[in-house]
Structure 1
Amino acid sequence: MKKYLSVILLCCAGLAVWAQPLRLGVAGVTHDHLWGMLPAIEKGEIDVVGVWEADIRYIGDNLLTPLLPKDRFYGSLEEMLDRTHPEAVVAYGSIKQHLDVVRACAPRGIHIMVEKPLAASVKDASEMAALARRYGILLLTNYETTWYSSNAWVKQRLGELGPLFRIEVYDGHEGPREIGCSERFLEWLTDPVLNGGGAVVDFGCYGANLATWLLDGREPKWVYAILRQNKPAVYPKVDDDALIILDYGDVSVYIGASWCWPKGRKDMFVYGLDGHIYQQTADTVSGWIKGETIPEQSLPALEAPYNNSFRYLEAAVRGEISIGKADTGALENNLTVVKILDAAKRSARTGKRVKLR
């Protein structure tokens, strides 16, 4: 009896450990998406064991300061990792800084989730991918649109549309300064090196990511793009409006990425020979398939872990789910995204269609 009781107690202890919140390190605090961590911290869904910030101005002055003890904030990324031993790190600094995070975390076997896009350049992305593969860590990319039930519904109904021939993806808002983004965010978001570009990167990545997912990881044959500065006085260093056309041979993808929309949007149209779907909001869709109108409808939220970036990261790190190469958060998908954005910038400079590198 004692033997069986011991086994039961050991199993329960194991389950208790497994059920503990994910131990997270935070790399950077200048990304305004950091606010997304606050509810998860307050609800005890994640355990932030350490926070690193390179800029001394923000180590003690950021959104996490009121929620965490002072001794959890570090000016050295390596020290934070070695003292706190997180299961994973989430990156909330500049896109250029993602490379530094991977260089520090990968050799220590620490998994990583960065905010979109994966990297500021193909060169950075290639080094990051090589490190992740060498050390066997997850390197995921977080997009708001991954958690949209409307996008999951589009993917589910894709086969009913017949042969696809066009996808149109529109993302953006009135502009980061116009909507009140913080100065610490704007410092790098509007820098061509630290962010990799303007609207073409900030919002062009969504369309590239969704197209790669919907088309099962395929890469376009050609990329053509037009980048504009409609507000040069506001954004003198980078583009604020981008049109990207991806040519897959049988499918054309139009990506409209802008800091000039009169109203914020993240919507998509998918066209096949037998029907079309309009993904209108995070949870609203409509369409027409094989002569039948699909009236506008609201969809329920996705079930965990596909409804939340931190739950998804936890499930991936702890082996509860597997991630396909074409999935929106996957390394392979996001390498393609970076290559598409690179091609778009090269096309805009030359005025010609270009191939991926």
Structure 2
Amino acid sequence: MADAQPNRKPLRVGVIGLVHTHVHGILNKAFKQANQSDIEIVGIAEPNRELAERYAKQYRFPISLVYPSVEQMLDKAKPEAVTDFGRIIDHLQTVKICAPRGIHVMVEKPLAVSYDQAKQMEALALKHKIQLLTNYETTWYGSNHKAYALANTDKAIGDLRKIVVHDGHQGPKEIGVTSEFLDWLTDPVANGAGALFDFGCYGANLSTWLMHNQRPLSVLAVTQQIKPDIYPKVDDEATIILTYPKTQTIIQASWNWPFARKDMEVYGQTGYVNTLDGTRMRIRLKDDKTERSTEARPTDAPASDPFSYLARLLHGETKPDELTSLENNMIVVEILDAARQSAKTGKVVPLKQKL
């Protein structure tokens, strides 16, 4: 896998919002990495001047790159694509502004705060023929792609029976996220929910991928407020069960883990594969007497990072990745919406099966 293509110009990228601290990834790549030729940040839309000046100083970019509104940034900087690091509820507005201009959009996970908003975004993306991608850290884990290959390409573990996904950390306040991030991440309107959306989306994304974009028959979710003194408005603990005709997925999303984790267990009829992090894995196949450890390579992932992937995709140098795709992430938001409803009502939510 070669990310950089020295014979082409970098992709002109606009950054929308600085209040999601995942933005450090693209700022570090664009302004700190030597010899990176994938992307060029041509403009940043951020109305909070103090925040913009803080990052300009940290990453040594000219404050002239920053515009107070998305429209001004698009008009003056003329990016080919934007990456959205704002509140999840604002993703729809980003697409409303960018899609009619033919500007591609990559948002941070999840795609939207509701299935209704996701459908509006999908309609705009399809009408104006833009890429609308959702970025997850776990998309760039070689271990997940090796697990997928063992389960689906090689069919080494038999038909899938159970998928268990664990994601989360000790809590956003406990790990010291910025106040700008914490303010909206713990707001049920701006983020959709608490841990249920923040970390439940990873499992929904991976399960949908492993199940070839099959929608589950039903969704059941249980949420808790274990720390209401810290998170009075949102859940901090969530478990989601997805039922498929012959498979079950259990998503464990939490702001209460003792340590940060993003790992997965995939069980088939004849074997299993567990991912421990981005590279380390444990596997036991049909004829194995015990499990064995292995490691994935960086080249097992579609790119080394989302921004290299975005540049390669828009320059026609790589095929679309299913984990970032609109089709997958429409199902993810449908699952999250149903999970929120299930947690509120205490009932299983059946998903209407499309003909």
TM-score band by shorter chain is: over 0.9
What is the CA-CA distance between 1:56 and the residue it aligns to?
4.4
Equivalent residue letter for 1:342: D
Gaps of at least 5 residues in structure 1 are 1-14
Partner of residue 184, structure 1: 180
Q: Deviations over 1:176-230 (max 9, x none)?
A: 0001100000010000010000000000000000000011100000000000000
Partner of residue 47, structure 2: 54
What is the CA-CA distance between 1:249 and the residue it aligns to?
1.7
Partner of residue 306, structure 2: 309
What is the CA-CA distance between 1:276 and the residue it aligns to?
0.9
Equivalent residue letter for 2:323: T
Partner of residue 345, structure 2: 350
1:147 and 1:302 in contact (8 A); partners too: no
Identity %: 46
| Cα separation, partners in 2 of 1:64 and 1:36, compared to 1, 3 Å | farther
What is the CA-CA distance between 1:303 and the residue it aligns to?
6.1
Which residue of the other structure, out of 128, 134, 152, is the alignment partner of 1:135?
A: 128
Which residue of the other structure, out of 199, 215, 218, is the alignment partner of 1:219?
A: 215
Which has the higher mean CA deviation after the structures are superposed, 45-54 or 261-270? 45-54
Structure with more relative contact order (C-alpha pairs < 8 Å, separation 6 or more): 2
1:148 and 1:302 in contact (8 A); partners too: no
Distance 1:219 1:305 in 2: 24
Q: Deviations over 1:86-128 (max 9, x none)?
A: 1110000110111111111101100011000001111111111
1:316 and 1:323 in contact (8 A); partners too: yes
Higher Rg: 1
Which residue of the other structure, out of 190, 198, 208, is the alignment partner of 2:194?
A: 198
| Cα separation, partners in 2 of 1:344 and 1:111, compared to 1, 3 Å | same
Which residue of the other structure, out of 325, 330, 337, is the alignment partner of 2:325?
A: 330
What is the CA-CA distance between 1:302 and the residue it aligns to?
2.1
Q: Deviations over 1:277-299 (max 9, x none)?
A: 11111101112101214411222
Distance 2:50 2:121 in 1: 28
Please tell me whether residue 154 in structure 1 is matched to residue 154 in structure 2: no
**4+ residue runs of structure 1 moved beyond 4 angstroms?**
none
Equivalent residue letter for 1:334: N
Partner of residue 109, structure 1: 102
Partner of residue 280, structure 1: 276
Distance 2:83 2:61 in 1: 16
Q: Deviations over 1:243-271 (max 9, x none)?
A: 00000021000000000001111111111
RMSD: 1.6
Please tell me whether residue 28 in structure 1 is matched to residue 23 in structure 2: no
What is the CA-CA distance between 1:315 and the residue it aligns to?
1.1
Distance 1:304 1:199 in 2: 26
| Cα separation, partners in 2 of 1:65 and 1:77, compared to 1, 3 Å | farther
What is the CA-CA distance between 1:300 and the residue it aligns to?
1.9
SS in structure 1 of the partner of residue 257 of structure 2:
coil
Please tell me whether residue 40 in structure 1 is matched to residue 29 in structure 2: yes
Distance 2:92 2:53 in 1: 24
What is the CA-CA distance between 1:84 and the residue it aligns to?
1.0
Q: TM-score, normalised by structure 1?
A: 0.92
Distance 1:64 1:347 in 2: 45
Distance 1:231 1:169 in 2: 22
Corresponding pairs, count = 340
Please tell me whether residue 341 in structure 1 is matched to residue 333 in structure 2: no
Q: Deviations over 1:303-357 (max 9, x none)?
A: 6852210111011111122226xx1000010010000000001001111100236
Gaps of at least 5 residues in structure 2 are none
Distance 1:224 1:252 in 2: 11
What is the CA-CA distance between 1:65 and the residue it aligns to?
6.1
| Cα separation, partners in 2 of 1:181 and 1:215, compared to 1, 3 Å | same
Equivalent residue letter for 1:302: T
Which has the higher mean CA deviation after the structures are superposed, 313-322 or 188-197? 313-322
Equivalent residue letter for 1:53: E
What is the CA-CA distance between 1:39 and the residue it aligns to?
3.0
1:24 and 1:50 in contact (8 A); partners too: yes
2:143 and 2:300 in contact (8 A); partners too: no
Q: TM-score, normalised by structure 2?
A: 0.92
| Cα separation, partners in 2 of 1:307 and 1:250, compared to 1, 3 Å | same
